[in-house]
Amino acid sequence: MAVISPVPVRPGYPLLNEVISGAPVRASTWTSAAESLLNSLGSTNIFVPFHSPRVTVNGGAATTLRFRYTPNGRATQVRWLYQIEFTASSGAPLFFEQIAAKASKSSTIETIAFTYTNPSLISQVRIVGLIGFEDTASAIEDTDLGVNPATYQIREPITARAYESIGGLFEGATSKFRRYYLNHSDSDDLLSHWNTSLTAGSFLVKNGIILTRRQVPTSVYCPTQWHIRAAMSTTLYGGKVTVTNNKPANQIVNHLVMPNTDFAAANTYYNFTMPRSFTWSKAASATATLTRTNHGFITMEYIYIDSTTNATELPIGTYQVTSTGVNTITINTGVVGTASGSCTNDLQFDAEDYNDNSGMPSAVEQFYDVIYRVDNAAGKLYVSNVACEEVLT
Amino acid sequence: MTLGRKARYDGEIRNLFSGTPTAATLINQPMRMSRSNYLVNNINHINDQRSQVVVNWSDNDATGRGLSCAFSAVDGGSPTGLIMRVTYQARLDPNGVPYPLRVFVSGYSTDGTSCSIRVKVSGSTTGSATSATFTGISPDWRALGGGAIKYKMFTFSAPVTTSLVQVPSTIGSSAPSQAVIAPIEIKVEDPSFPRLSAAKLVISGLYAAEYVGGY
């Protein structure tokens, strides 16, 4: 019985005295490399970091929590570890596991559900902890990038044929692993989940923490993508979600505007992704006009432009905005010129500093807030999921 | 002497197998050790990238939320003051040692009674850490790392206990395989439990992420 490891044990580093210049590599070495890659390509991605939904479930009832995320496309099952407690009695929490197969190894964004049915007909329980994993592809499939052991012989030099065989693994490895920063969910039950009727807004998350992964050695910030699952109590009004990175200097924000036309039916959930793209133009001026339908920005707020089609005319950086319309804002680029193009904005979360033992990029921790609000106090905005994941660049 | 404490990032492996060299040009030719070393370092880096966010929970919007030991001493409750418990599968370095874990914890006192929060990470050299005492009645991240430092790095110096579970074969064989798992447990506790009054420590947030750089 072969022993594999879904826990990605890194292969040991080659020792200098083991390196023989110009000598062939043993097939067994390649096998180890292939196994290491297999372990890396699909195992134990935490796509729902542990959190506490605090959802109560009556005896005999069921509740469903839904999570938005973009899979890495390598896993064939999801595994939930959850913690419950009885609401009406003392005692330690209880821990359970639930495993579900995935229909496909899609790498497009999806909504995945966790359903808990309370087996007790009497006692009410509360889900106080939940973590979700993606598990490795555990069996050979047509779409697997696998190694056929028949193509190599132990201690034989690797040949072009075997080289081709494990080449697929290396190709698979060239696509990066997405990291999941946040995935909070509440029940889909309208009666119990997060809601607000405040036009001034309520906190969905206050003082949350996100430290991004440094994708390349020169990265200081790495972009994030936010997903929201929301419903409105009426089709007459809409809502808005704002994420603020509370940086010590300029607080960077981004908005998701959900007009009432986005809610075709009342009390029904819809999935939203916070937009990141603009088109921009400027005419013999340093002032650039950025255009996005329902951008949501308010004059004096700060925006961080993290990519642009013309970094000379619209340099990457932080700008204070002036709102000139529902769909337009202006910023001072500091460069007089005539140009146009497209750009993206981001929340400028710091990346880990791999040169530091703690990984912290600065001595001052940075926190973020997520605020949701309604257009009109006569409406109620429900949110059942807020998620943040890495944007692979 | 090793070639590097950390995996050296040699850049993405692009077009290595879809471009040249081709199978036709390399038929039955061995690969140089230096080239394989380059690839192994890239594999190591890919593994490094897998460090993940294990916990991200923040219930800091208002008092009255969060988790606590449900009942005071007179009602019973967990004798250890256990409030949260998280289990995850650690990623391991070549020696079988898990990567360090960076932990933040948030909490408040329901009535201003002095409180602290204890975090335990199984198998870690650090073992446990207790936050500085606080009397705040609003949720906030508490100093867990000594002084004013909010985060605590839990480090590991020895391989953790692993166990084997049976899984279908991964690499082409019909025989079943066994998978190694290395479960790590994070516990958040009230070190003053059981309390003799109605005062409670409430945990309102927890963040834990693996870290692979630096050390």
Going by C-alpha positions, the residue among A225, A261, A257, A264 that lies closest to residue A344 is: A225
Residues 63-122 of A with CB under 8 A from B: 81, 83, 85, 90-93, 95
Provide the pLDDT for residue B159.
76
B-chain residues near A173 (CB < 8 A): 13, 42-43, 46
Residue B194 lies in a domain: yes
H/E stretch holding A48 reads strand A45-51
Residue of A nearest to B153 (CA): A358
B-chain residues near A148 (CB < 8 A): 172
Other residues' Cβ atoms within 10 Å of the Cβ of residue A35 = 20
Residue A281 has, within 13 A of its CA and on its CB side, a CA count of 4
Do A23 and B32 lie within an 8 Å CB cutoff?
yes
Place of tokens 């990029």: A361
- Let me know: does A152 contact A31? Beta carbons within 8 Å: yes
User: What's at A154, amino acid-wise?
Assistant: I
Integer Cα distance of B101 and B206 in angstroms: 12
Distance from CA of B49 to the nearest CA of A (A): 7
Integer Cα distance of B155 and B138 in angstroms: 30
Do B28 and A159 lie within an 8 Å CB cutoff?
yes
The three-class DSSP label of residue B127 is: coil
User: What's at B92, amino acid-wise?
Assistant: L
Integer Cα distance of B175 and B156 in angstroms: 34
User: What's at A133, amino acid-wise?
Assistant: F
Other residues' Cβ atoms within 10 Å of the Cβ of residue A20 = 11
Residue of B nearest to A355 (CA): B214
Place of tokens 């067994």: A28
Do A352 and B28 lie within an 8 Å CB cutoff?
no
The three-class DSSP label of residue A95 is: strand
Q: How many domains does chain B have?
A: 1
- Does any CB of chain A come closer than 8 Å to the CB of residue B211? yes
Residue A299: partners with Cβ closer than 8 Å, 6 or more residues away: A321, A322, A323
Provide the pLDDT for residue A23.
62
Integer Cα distance of A68 and B173 in angstroms: 35
Going by C-alpha positions, the residue among B108, B79, B131 that lies closest to residue B199 is: B108
A-chain residues near B56 (CB < 8 A): 49-51, 181-184, 208-210
Integer Cα distance of A111 and A130 in angstroms: 16
Beta strands in A157-275 (DSSP E): 180-185, 194-196, 202-209, 224-232, 239-245, 252-258, 270-273
In this prediction, the residues of chain A whose per-residue pLDDT falls under 50 are 1-6, 42, 138-156, 159-165
Integer Cα distance of A329 and A146 in angstroms: 50
Angle of helix A27-42 relative to helix A160-174, nearest 10 degrees?
20
- Let me know: does A232 contact A195? Beta carbons within 8 Å: no
Please tell me which of the candidates B31, B52, B171 has its beta carbon nearest to residue A147.
B171
The CATH 2.60.40 domain(s) of chain A lie at 45-135
Residue B22 lies in a domain: no
A-chain residues near B140 (CB < 8 A): 207
Please tell me which of the candidates B71, B176, B215 has its beta carbon nearest to residue A90.
B71
Distance from CA of A65 to the nearest CA of B (A): 16
Residue B175: partners with Cβ closer than 8 Å, 6 or more residues away: A1, A2, B169
Buried b or exposed e, range B18-41, using 16+ CB within 10 angstroms: eeeeeeeebeeebbebeebbebbb
Do B213 and A356 lie within an 8 Å CB cutoff?
yes
Integer Cα distance of A338 and A98 in angstroms: 58
Integer Cα distance of A290 and A332 in angstroms: 11
Integer Cα distance of A387 and B172 in angstroms: 37
Please tell me which of the candidates A15, A50, A139 has its beta carbon nearest to residue B86.
A50
Query: What's the mean pLDDT when you consider all of chain B?
Result: 72
Residues 42-81 of B with CB under 8 A from A: 42-44, 46-62, 65, 67, 70-71, 75-78
Q: What is the pLDDT along chain B (215 residues), one digit of tens a residue?
A: 222 334 444 444 433 444 444 555 555 556 666 666 666 666 666 655 667 899 998 876 666 667 777 554 444 445 667 888 888 878 777 667 888 899 999 999 988 889 999 999 999 999 999 999 999 998 999 999 888 889 999 998 877 777 665 554 444 445 555 556 678 889 998 888 776 666 788 898 999 998 876 54
Kindly report the CATH number assigned to the domain that includes residue B80. 2.60.120
- Does any CB of chain B come closer than 8 Å to the CB of residue A211? yes
Provide the pLDDT for residue A84.
86
Choosing among A3, A4, A10, which should be mutated to test the B contact, i.e. which has the most B CBs within 10 A? A10
Q: Is B172 left (phi over 0), alpha (psi -120 to 50) or beta?
A: left
Integer Cα distance of A243 and A274 in angstroms: 10
Residue of A nearest to B96 (CA): A9
Distance from CA of B60 to the nearest CA of A (A): 5
- Does any CB of chain B come closer than 8 Å to the CB of residue A5? yes
Which structural domain, as residue segments, surrounds residue B81?
52-210
* ipTM of predicted assembly, 2 dp: 0.84
Provide the pLDDT for residue B99.
83
Beta strands in chain B (DSSP E): 53-58, 82-89, 101-109, 118-121, 128-130, 140-141, 152-154, 163-167, 177-181, 183-189, 201-210
User: What's at A100, amino acid-wise?
Assistant: A
- Does any CB of chain B come closer than 8 Å to the CB of residue A218? no
Residues 131-160 of B with CB under 8 A from A: 139-141, 150-151, 153
User: What is the fold of A45-135?
Assistant: Immunoglobulin-like (2.60.40)
Provide the pLDDT for residue B179.
58
Question: If you count residue pairs, one on A and one on B, with CB atoms under 8 Å apart, how many are there?
Answer: 318
Place of tokens 């001595």: A363
B-chain residues near A81 (CB < 8 A): 87
H/E stretch holding A169 reads helix A160-174
